[in-house]
A and B are shown apart, each in its own frame.
Chain A
Amino acid sequence: MSDAIITVENLSKRYLVEHQSKHGGRYTTFREMIAREVNNFARKAIDLVHGRPIIQGNDVEEFWALRDVCFEIRQGSIVGIIGPNGAGKSTLLKILSRITPPTEGRILIWGRVASLLEVGTGFHAELTGRENIFLNGAILGMTQREIRKKFDEIVAFADVERFIDMPVKRYSSGMHVRLAFAVAAHLEPDILIVDEVLAVGDAAFQKKCLGKMDDVSRREGRTVLFVSHNMSVIKALCPSAIWLDRGLVRRQGTAEEVVGEYLATVAPSQDRFVKLEDVQRLHKLEDGLRLLSLEWNCDLPLRHGEPIKGRIRFRARTRSQDVVIGIGFANLEGDRVLTYETDSQVGFRAHVSETGDHCVEFAVAALPLAPDIYALDVFCRSSEINSLDYVPAVIQVEVVAGTKTPTAIIKHNTGVHLPSSWTWENLEHGGPTVSPAQI
């Protein structure tokens, strides 16, 4: 046996995407329609009897979420998995966690695996924090004795001592995430698989979690597989990384190299219409409100110092109070550098009191972002804490130089530049020494 703790050989995963065929999708006569429906019905019935998955439409398309993926992971290493949305990262983690089987290929894993693909899997809103710790721990594979032993540590880590006997439905989303991560962080598996679960939660807690994960691998010799969109976290935490792209391993090596190459190829989107509806959400939120799309009403690429405009469509399934909708720009390391949200209109609170589709328009007089490529986040929350919907890094947008210089500038490596006044003076002779250049 080599020192590999995980060996992945030629792993492929195929999904069947079903839809109505495009040609001849319309029925010409009633008789034809009946005939086709009867046909479909018979086929489904036969599939059902044989226990095969039935196909809903009459056209099936194959979709390979992973194709011939091979890699090895050594014991005690932390490996980052990166790639754009839809690259197959989540599918890979699901196969490694034995949630879904591969279509082809083989994986050898030495030791116990615990996976954290969602914070608080199985959490029940009616149960108290205490009860949920035991429930969630058992789901993640801890024994009740282990949980009892670590109970105080978990509660302290989550910082929820005072609320531990309160139903979690009364928790803020921050507390919810903290408690859930605390349980997972105290697992003692040989291999820990973590999907991007830290994107929610406040920065201080995120840091604490990352510290814990680092600890787990360095001190206790555990192996960690970690998916994130945040490249600075990947670089800080993981010595090595794997870059997936459309189901293929594009590159693997040291995190520094892989991240560098990945960032160099991320192509900004030129589409004025950005569909949000179908983008897979990282976290299961209450389904009361869903972002549908973002449409730019200005030229692309965006220009530094010039106006940007757009509209965001969303669908309300329930009524929500104090709704705030916004967009955010993150640098490609994954750190948010600029946010625009409806809340910035002071004293204005939006209550969505009618269900159905709505839209909100935004306009910015001068875009302060310096020319570069940014990742766009679209989000929606209610009041301060409650996230309603969140689509991070949905596309990359490019900002190019414009004709005007805005009063505020946000730069990648020097932060925010704001107007301020400066006076020059010649200390030898008095009076100004420098003649200001006319711009």
Chain B
Amino acid sequence: MSWKKHAYESIPGTYVFDGKTSHAAYALNKLLFSFNHEHNRQAFAADPSAYADKYGLNDEQKTALLNDDFLGMLRLGANIYYLAKLAVPRGFSVQDAGAAFQGISTAEFQASLDRKADGLIEKLKKRGYWNG
């Protein structure tokens, strides 16, 4: 038995969430999905290890979860939208997460985002976009 290969698997630094990933990380994502409810977020905060066990996480998944290892969880198959349900309520922004994935500071990550606006207005004016 083997999993089909996809063109998107060769894109660097990119973890496309597909059936193979979702199957491997079902328990982890189910735990993350539970954070839609405040009482579950509180139960996790009160005893993270017991909460991981309740959802049947394997050792690798549990270690990554308990260490706030976002890249580790991603590599183990956490879906980014589900990961946000862990990260955002505990004060991590998507910029913090992006910085952690790249191993840089949030300020550096933000600065690289801000640079995307360089020359933008001129480009838009040439193409007839609204500009106030």
Answer yes or no: do A and B interact: no
